[in-house]
Amino acid sequence: MGKDYYNILGVQKGAGQEEIKKAFRKKAHKYHPDKANGDEAKFKEINEAYQILGDPKKRGQYDQFGPAFENMQGAGGFGGFRDFSGAANGFNINMDDLGDIFGGIGDIFGFSNGGGHRRSARGRDLQLLVNISFMEAVFGIDKEIMINKQVVCDRCNGNLAEPGTKIETCKICKGTGSTTRVQQTILGNMRVNATCEACGGEGKTYSKLCATCFGKGTVMDKVSLKIKIPAGINNGETIRLTGRGEAGDKGAPAGDLYLKVQVAPKPGFERVGFDVKSAVDISFTQAALGDKIDIETVHGAVKLKVLAGTESGTVYKLRNKGIQRLQASGKGDHLVTVNIKTPRNLNRKQKELLKELNI
């Protein structure tokens, strides 16, 4: 009796190719012989089913001929369930179909997914410490900074070749970036895609590499960058500038630049969120009778009305005289703590007057 490949993978006959691929991945992961509860025979059977159902042409033949399909393929009717070396127990595995079953670092058979063009390395992310003053943090500032980093080579514009020389399609891999070989494993012969050694997976060859970057596509250079520090930023916060890090090798995307902001303190001011705190000393008379006094804020001097009978430690709020809220509307407040100065070195008359007041 012929094998029911749909039942082996656990899918319906009308299942789409993506559903079949997902079912194969799930079962291959479950029954992989390298796992504690793996099953080598079951793993082979699952792969056999996927080799048929995962190929639209073979699947069509299987659906048409049913149980007779196995006998016909064994006789060579469909090209056979064999690898190109003709080994009776050989089979092919596309490592892209297996996805992350082997973790992307090479499986127990000693190979990894090397199919297709090699991905060039993305540029490094960079971090830079930027020092600003308290007032620059309050109102924001545009700054110009100098930074050493990898940039796109201006001689070859990142295409790796010496200007005027030839860039050709690799003759070994025909521009695919990969080659195919057969490898013996515990499960039989496997057809494996590997990075082309002739072109390093790029699919191109160069008659002469760039004399400046030597085929890397980037060079180290000192770069001037204009950056904007937003109003309201706080000490220790970080600004991310996408794509302003180091250039990637061989045309790969650039990394990001992270600016860590360090804000210098300002004597007399304390920042709490978007509020600013300060303290002021007043005389006993001002506290008792009330007064209008000048208070220095980040927005300049303002008049504060001290109410009669104010006690030491009273906090007055100056609304909207604090710091601009970062990426939002409105400002914080300025909070003023009033401290009453106790009079010292009083003369006899002053002491007698205080005694008369008895307060």
pLDDT of residue 308: 95
The Cα 54–Cα 50 span in angstroms is 5
Give the containing element (helix H, strand E) for 193. Answer: strand 188-195
Of 203, 238, 263, which residue constitutes the final position of a domain? Answer: 263
224 lies in the same domain as 141: yes
Q: Which amino acid is at 324?
A: Q
Rg (CA), the chain: 38
pLDDT in tens, 211-245: 999 888 899 999 999 999 999 999 999 999 999 99
288 lies in the same domain as 241: no
Average pLDDT, the chain: 83
Of 46, 81, 116, which residue constitutes the final position of a domain? Answer: 81
* Burial of 332: CB neighbours in 10 Å, binned 0-12, 13-18, 19+: buried
Short-list 170, 164, 157, CA closest to 217: 157
The Cα 343–Cα 174 span in angstroms is 94
Q: Looking at per-residue confidence, does 359 or 198 come out higher?
A: 198
pLDDT of residue 258: 96
pLDDT at 81 over 50: no
- 259: domain range? 126-161+220-263
* Burial of 324: CB neighbours in 10 Å, binned 0-12, 13-18, 19+: buried
pLDDT of residue 71: 53
Sequence-distant (6+) residues with CB within 8 A of 6 are: 12, 13, 15, 49, 53
pLDDT at 307 over 90: yes
- Reported pTM: 0.59
pLDDT at 100 over 70: no
Residue 253 counted as domain residue: yes
Most confident of the ranges 11-15, 129-133, 189-193: 129-133
250 lies in the same domain as 276: no
33 lies in the same domain as 64: yes
The Cα 326–Cα 323 span in angstroms is 9
Q: Looking at per-residue confidence, does 43 or 133 come out higher?
A: 133
Contacts within 8 Å (CB) and 24+ apart, 289-295: 295/334, 295/336
The Cα 60–Cα 65 span in angstroms is 9
pLDDT at 103 over 90: no
pLDDT of residue 295: 97
The Cα 46–Cα 29 span in angstroms is 11
CATH of the domain at 144: 2.60.260.20
318 lies in the same domain as 302: yes
Q: Are 10 and 19 in contact (CB under 8 A)?
A: no
Residue 176 counted as domain residue: no
DSSP code string of 192-209: EEEE-TTTTTSSEEESSB
Domain count, the chain: 3
Using DSSP's 3-state secondary structure scheme, residue 157 falls into: coil
User: Which residues in 18-162 belong to E strands, given as ranges?
Assistant: 91-92, 126-132, 141-152
Q: Within 13 A of 37's CA, how many CA atoms are on the CB side?
A: 3
Q: Which residue has the tokens 């990001």?
A: 256
pLDDT in tens, 291-304: 999 999 999 999 99
Q: Are 9 and 46 in contact (CB under 8 A)?
A: yes
Beta bridge partner(s), residue 338: 280, 314
237 lies in the same domain as 147: yes
Residue 115 counted as domain residue: no
Q: Which two tokens stand for residue 118?
A: 């090699």
